[in-house]
């Protein structure tokens, strides 16, 4: 019997290096990586003309919205955007309307998603009000819990230390990671009240509220919670050098901890935010150029585990307000992440193995996606084909995301995802979505 598909004449990132070979896919899995003459016969053959094949990216931090926030993004637009960005699996955040915080809300979200998604989707849940419900949520298929230290999202108030410890202990017992938005809510509130009452409404006031100290304090608290509970801790979007040093220290002393940063935190600084304005407003905010550079170097030096987009789409009106306190924070970054990283590869700042480790291998390891994250025989055929030489200019009007604006607008980049395969099915080809809504899978 011939296999389903052969990708021939490719350069494949496999076995830790780039090999000139072909790849055979059958039943959604990679069945053989070999020179063309050694590949089985196939129903369909695709000539990749020497392009590079990477493992499909796993973006562990995405706000797909939908439901009552569909005007910002929905499962179809968000997963089309993912496919356009070379991402084959996204992890959906719980700060939705309604909030994902029970087995019921999670099942409802999965049900809606199943008819719309074109790439694979896994789900975070917020903590429920009753800690005993955490097991039901995990049984319903949540891959991780997400906890905001900044404000209450879900059933657990981050100021409730006693129950927070209990929730972390339960996550440990259920053997499921807790991802934390580490900004200290008490510090945020205190400076917010002070600055707002003094009449400040400018972008710099926002930076003063969302200070580096707020992140550092949040990270310290998250680590205490992890140590008291044994749960695996994943720190979202690290944006400060001090925060990262603390995480690296904890990891070296044997703690079960991982962290991610984002393309915007390693490529943009507060200076960009002042020039670009609210489109570049995000939590945690863009930092001083020295912090940005520190994080970029740390990423290149292997101190950071993962790169995630924190794709946080909003409507344009929500991004436009004269008072900074009214603006919705967030950057729609899922379609620009891989091109920006390929540009760094072309500049010699990052290598292809780094890229695969940060955006596929480590995300699969941290969140337990078996059979994904690397190109080996037996794994799912989640793949992205990239043209490393393609030079183009980022134009948000071409995004599949409903948020058609970006702080990276007008950037000249080198490198583009040109084909995305999910489970062996072609989903994106040359910027066109060719898969049907509902072709993606929910990963439990």
Letters for 238-267 (x = contact with ligand DOR by CB under 6 A, - = none) are: ------------------------------
Q: What is the smallest separation between the CB atom of 251 and Zn ion, expressed in angstroms?
A: 20
The nearer residue to ligand DOR, 7 or 121, going by C-beta atoms, is 121
Q: What is the smallest separation between the CB atom of 157 and ligand DOR, expressed in angstroms?
A: 17
The nearer residue to Zn ion, 25 or 207, going by C-beta atoms, is 207
Interaction partner, residue 234 (ligand DOR, Zn ion, none; CB < 5-8 Å by kind):
none
Please state, in angstroms and as integers, the Cα–Cα distance from residue 144 to each residue in 6, 94, 117, following that order: 35, 10, 20
Burial degree of 208 (CB within 10 A; 0-12, 13-18, 19+): middle
Say whether residue 310 binds Zn ion (CB under 5 A): yes
395 catalytic? Reply is: no
Q: What is the smallest separation between the CB atom of 49 and Zn ion, expressed in angstroms?
A: 37
Letters for 82-121 (x = contact with ligand DOR by CB under 6 A, - = none) are: -------------x--------------------------
Please state, in angstroms and as integers, the Cα–Cα distance from residue 88 to each residue in 40, 55, 79, 326, 382, following that order: 26, 9, 9, 34, 6
Interaction partner, residue 95 (ligand DOR, Zn ion, none; CB < 5-8 Å by kind):
ligand DOR
The nearer residue to ligand DOR, 239 or 258, going by C-beta atoms, is 239
Say whether residue 234 binds Zn ion (CB under 5 A): no
Letters for 293-332 (x = contact with ligand DOR by CB under 6 A, - = none) are: -------------------x----------------xx--
Q: What is the smallest separation between the CB atom of 433 and ligand DOR, expressed in angstroms?
A: 24
Q: What gap in Å lies between CA 74 and CA 232, rounded to an integer?
A: 30
Say whether residue 181 binds Zn ion (CB under 5 A): yes
Extended strands (E) in 206-342: 233-235, 257-261, 306-307
Phi, psi torsion values for 338, nearest 5 degrees: -65, -45
33 touches 3 (CB < 8 A): no
Interaction partner, residue 304 (Zn ion, ligand DOR, none; CB < 5-8 Å by kind):
none
Q: What is the smallest separation between the CB atom of 210 and ligand DOR, expressed in angstroms?
A: 9
Peptide bond into 117 cis (omega under 30): no
How many residues bind ligand DOR (CB under 6 A)? The answer is 8
Residue nearest to Zn ion (CB): 181
Q: What is the smallest separation between the CB atom of 61 and Zn ion, expressed in angstroms?
A: 6
Q: Per CB under 6 A, which of residues 164..183 are in contact with ligand DOR?
A: 181
Can you spell out the DSSP letters for 350-407? S-HHHHHIIIIIHHHHHHT-TT-SS--TTSB--EEEEEEEEEEE--GGG-SSS----T
What is the CB-side half-sphere exposure of residue 17 using CA atoms within 13 A?
A: 3
Letters for 45-74 (x = contact with ligand DOR by CB under 6 A, - = none) are: ------------------x-----------
Q: Give the chain's radius of gyration (CA, Å).
A: 21
The nearer residue to ligand DOR, 26 or 183, going by C-beta atoms, is 183
Interaction partner, residue 137 (Zn ion, ligand DOR, none; CB < 5-8 Å by kind):
none
Opening angle at CA 365, ends 362 and 370, nearest 5? 130
Q: Per CB under 6 A, which of residues 391..430 are in contact with ligand DOR?
A: none
The nearer residue to Zn ion, 23 or 58, going by C-beta atoms, is 58
Opening angle at CA 110, ends 439 and 76, nearest 5? 45
Residue indicated by tokens 């066109």: 432
Q: What gap in Å lies between CA 102 and CA 108, rounded to an integer?
A: 10
The nearer residue to ligand DOR, 64 or 113, going by C-beta atoms, is 64
Q: What gap in Å lies between CA 120 and CA 397, rounded to an integer?
A: 25
DSSP character at residue 239: -
Residue indicated by tokens 């008072």: 323
First to last CA, the chain: 31
Q: What is the smallest separation between the CB atom of 333 and Zn ion, expressed in angstroms?
A: 10
* Catalytic annotation, pick one of 310, 354, 382, 387: 310
Q: What is the smallest separation between the CB atom of 126 and ligand DOR, expressed in angstroms?
A: 12
Residues in contact with ligand DOR by CB under 6 A are: 63, 95, 181, 282-283, 312, 329-330
Instruction: Provide the binding-site residues for Zn ion, judged by CB under 5 A.
Output: 181, 236, 310
């Amino acid at each position: 019997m011939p296999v389903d598909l052969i990708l021939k004449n490719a350069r494949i990132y496999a076995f830790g290096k780039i090999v000139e070979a072909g790849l055979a896919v059958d039943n959604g899995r990679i069945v053989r990586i070999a020179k063309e003459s050694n590949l089985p016969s196939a129903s369909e053959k695709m000539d990749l003309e020497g392009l590079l094949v990477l493992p499909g990216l796993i973006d562990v931090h995405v706000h797909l919205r939908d439901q009552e926030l569909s005007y910002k993004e929905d499962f179809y637009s968000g997963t089309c955007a993912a496919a356009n960005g070379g991402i084959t699996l996204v992890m959906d955040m719980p700060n939705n309307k309604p909030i994902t915080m029970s087995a019921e809300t999670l099942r409802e979200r999965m049900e809606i998603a199943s008819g719309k998604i074109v790439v694979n989707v896994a789900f975070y849940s917020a903590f429920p009000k009753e800690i005993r419900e955490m097991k039901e949520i995990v049984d319903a298929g949540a891959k991780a819990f997400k906890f905001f230290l900044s404000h209450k999202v879900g059933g657990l108030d981050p100021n409730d230390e006693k129950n927070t410890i209990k929730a972390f202990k339960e996550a440990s017992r259920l053997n499921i990671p807790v991802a934390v938005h580490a900004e200290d809510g008490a510090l945020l509130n205190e400076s917010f009240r002070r600055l707002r009452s003094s009449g400040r409404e400018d972008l710099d006031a926002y930076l003063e509220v969302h200070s580096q100290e707020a992140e550092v304090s949040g990270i310290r608290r998250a680590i205490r919670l992890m140590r008291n509970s044994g749960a695996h801790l994943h720190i979202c979007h690290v944006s400060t050098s001090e925060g990262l040093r603390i995480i690296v220290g904890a990891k070296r002393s044997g703690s079960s901890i991982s962290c991610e940063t984002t393309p915007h935190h390693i490529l943009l600084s507060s200076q960009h935010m002042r020039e670009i304005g609210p489109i570049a407003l995000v939590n945690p905010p863009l930092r001083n150029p020295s912090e940005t550079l520190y994080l970029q170097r740390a990423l290149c030096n292997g101190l950071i585990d993962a790169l995630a987009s924190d794709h946080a789409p909003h409507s344009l009106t929500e991004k436009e307000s004269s008072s900074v306190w009214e603006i919705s924070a967030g950057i729609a970054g899922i379609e620009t992440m891989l091109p920006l990283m390929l540009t760094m590869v072309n500049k010699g700042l990052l290598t292809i193995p780094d890229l695969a480790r940060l955006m596929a291998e480590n995300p699969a390891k941290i969140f337990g996606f078996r059979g994904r994250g690397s190109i080996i025989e037996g794994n799912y055929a989640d793949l992205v084909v990239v043209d490393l030489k393609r030079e183009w200019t980022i134009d948000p009007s071409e995004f599949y995301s409903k948020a058609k604006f970006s702080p990276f607008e007008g950037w000249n980049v080198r490198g583009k995802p040109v084909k995305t395969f999910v489970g062996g099915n072609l989903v994106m080809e040359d910027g066109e979505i060719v898969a049907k809504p509902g072709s993606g899978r929910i990963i439990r």
